[in-house]
Amino acid sequence: DVQLQASGGGLVQAGGSLRLSCAASGFILDDYEICWFRQAPKKEREGVFCISSSEGKEWFADSVKGRFTISRDNAKNTGYLQMNSLKPDDTAIYYCAATRKGLSGAVAGYDYWGQGTLVTVSS
């Protein structure tokens, strides 16, 4: 089975940090673009930070610029989202996704999705 398993969410105070992990199984993540999305209550799912399979290209939302970084460890078949200087507005369920269609921050561009991990940032 092709699966993505997101983990690392939790409750953190504003200004704190969390690192999310996205472990892939059933396929080689190295061949895929990886993207993190989030969905806050009553809001649409939105792209947060994405990284290409090669070339190191990135896409990110303006709202996370300078605070979040993305990385991948192909040997572990895992992607990561490091989130620093967290704000209450970052509270959401975070999803990781993978695609071979090219780098994009659009939900429709991704074929494989993890189950989501909840990030709650208290003020």
Nearest-angstrom CA–CA distance, 1 and 57: 28
Q: Strand 78-83 and strand 18-25: pairing?
A: antiparallel
Alpha helices in 6-117 (DSSP H): none
DSSP letter assigned to residue 88: G
Task: Please give the chain's pLDDT, 123 residues, in tens.
Answer: 889 999 999 999 999 999 999 999 999 999 999 999 999 999 999 999 999 998 889 999 999 999 999 999 989 999 999 999 999 999 999 999 999 999 999 999 999 999 999 999 999
